Structure 1
Amino acid sequence: MLPVTPVFIKSKETLQQLSLLLDRERLAYGEQNSKLIIDLSNEKQSLLDEMNTLNEKRINILIKFDIVNRKKPTEKEFKDWLSKQDSSFDDLRLLIVECEALLNLCKNKNNTNARILLTLQKRNKHLFELLQGHNEKNKVYTARGSTKPISSKHTLGRA
């Protein structure tokens, strides 16, 4: 049996943890708990670092067993090799399918969280501009072509 199976098992566990963490991150955005969001972000980075390490380990094993090209290893090479193997590799095939499904789930959850974060950032920027007395109508173009609010003399802070 190919010693890459334990790497995929660990990858699956890490992806499951990442999926749960992304759910918690989404809830933290809803609660607007900045401390929790920062903690979850650090946890997420740690899990992503672990996934990168596991990926490097997997590639090194595949190179060592001469399954993929040493100079430019690709997933296609590995999958082509795996498709030619007998039924004793069915467990590995299933594990790979599960990992790919989890990875896609994590990508979707992360994209959803990114959209939520962008919406929160826009809302907070708008509220901040309101506090500063900026108005959508009182904007000018900068040298780069973007818009910049003009300060008003009647801000909430001066009221």
Structure 2
Amino acid sequence: MIPITPIFVRSKEILKELSSLLDKERLAYGALDSDAIINLSEQKQTLLDEMNLLNEKRINILIKFDIVDRKQPTEEEFKSWLALQDSSMDEVRLLMQECETLLQSCKVKNNTNARVLNTLQKRNKHLFELLQGHSSKNKVYTARGSTRPISSKHTLGRA
């Protein structure tokens, strides 16, 4: 029997933790809590690093047991092989399915958080430009082709 069940069990645990962190991250964005956002980002990176190591370990096991191609292992090869196995691999099938569902949920949450972050960044940039007395209408091109605002003599900081 191939020892990949513990890898999927740990992957499922990591994905659950990641999902929880993504929920907390969205709340931190809403509260504008930069310390919490930084802390959550570090925790997410740690989980993603562990997930990458588990994936490498899983691929190495599949290569060792000659289930996937050594040079270009693919997920489809593994899924095809798994579909041909008897009921002794049902636990692995179930775990893999649960992991895929959790991964899809994490992707949706991550994309939502990215949109929230993008909106916050745009708002902060606009507020910063207002404080500096810049207007979105008063922009000039730089030598490199990008735009930059022209300073106004009447900034809020001088008022």
Query: Which 10-residue stretch deviates more, 66-75 or 12-21?
Result: 66-75
The code of the aligned residue for 1:6 comes to P
Q: Does 1:8 align with 2:8?
A: yes
Tell me the residue number matched to 1:129.
129
User: What are the within-5 Å matches in structure 2 for residues 11-22 of structure 1?
Assistant: 11-22=11-22
RMSD of the TM alignment (CA)? 0.9
Cα distance in 2 for residues equivalent to 1:96 and 1:136: 50
- After TM superposition, give the deviation of residue 78 of structure 1 in Å: 0.5
The code of the aligned residue for 2:26 comes to R
The code of the aligned residue for 1:49 comes to D
Tell me the residue number matched to 2:31.
31
- TM-score, reference length from structure 1: 0.97
The code of the aligned residue for 2:79 comes to K
- The percentage of aligned residue pairs carrying the same residue is 75
Q: Where do 4+ consecutive residues of structure 1 move more than 3 Å?
A: 143-146
Query: Structure 2: where are the runs of 5+ without partners?
Result: none
Q: Number of aligned residue pairs: give it.
A: 159
Cα distance in 2 for residues equivalent to 1:129 and 1:97: 48
The code of the aligned residue for 1:21 comes to L
- After TM superposition, give the deviation of residue 47 of structure 1 in Å: 0.5
- TM-score, reference length from structure 2: 0.97
Cα distance in 1 for residues equivalent to 2:155 and 2:92: 63
Tell me the residue number matched to 2:63.
63
Query: Structure 1: where are the runs of 5+ without partners?
Result: none
Structure 1 residue matching 2:148: 3-state secondary structure: strand
Tell me the residue number matched to 1:96.
96
Tell me the residue number matched to 2:116.
116
Cα distance in 2 for residues equivalent to 1:137 and 1:92: 59
- After TM superposition, give the deviation of residue 151 of structure 1 in Å: 0.6
Tell me the residue number matched to 1:152.
152
Cα distance in 2 for residues equivalent to 1:89 and 1:135: 63
- After TM superposition, give the deviation of residue 2 of structure 1 in Å: 1.8
Tell me the residue number matched to 2:42.
42
Cα distance in 2 for residues equivalent to 1:70 and 1:13: 28
Cα distance in 1 for residues equivalent to 2:94 and 2:144: 52
Cα distance in 2 for residues equivalent to 1:88 and 1:53: 26
The code of the aligned residue for 1:2 comes to I
- After TM superposition, give the deviation of residue 136 of structure 1 in Å: 1.6
